[in-house]
Amino acid sequence: RAIKYLIKLAHREGKTVSICGQAPSVYPEFTEFLVRCGIDSISINPDAAVFTRKLVASIEQRIMLEKALGQVKTDPDWDLPDPDED
């Protein structure tokens, strides 16, 4: 939830969001999570670049297809409270 919230907040402020670390290279489900949250870039090890690039392209294609078919997965956590609403 924290990652989703930070991405949403940064984008609202016009900032890009990047992540660096081993997890996106090792866990494809985490990569999908990041892409669906709207991450702008993922830094990975060179040996995982081809696989991860293909994975991200596949996820983005799936998202576009879901949108075209009206089957976008809804995420109840995406509508997190606005930080200004305290």
What digits encode the pLDDT tens for the residues 38-60?
A: 999 999 999 999 999 999 999 99
Does 81 map to a domain?
no
Structural domain that includes position 41:
2-68
Would you state the structure tokens that stand for residue 75, as one six-digit string? Answer: 């995420």
Distance CA 69, CA 61 (A): 12
Q: For position 84, what pLDDT does the model report?
A: 59
pLDDT of 15 above 80: yes
Nearest CA-CA partner of 36 in 79, 83, 73: 73
- Residue 16 located in a structural domain: yes
Domains identified in the chain, total number: 1
Q: CA 34 → CA 2, 18, 20, 41, 84, distances in Å?
A: 12, 10, 12, 9, 24
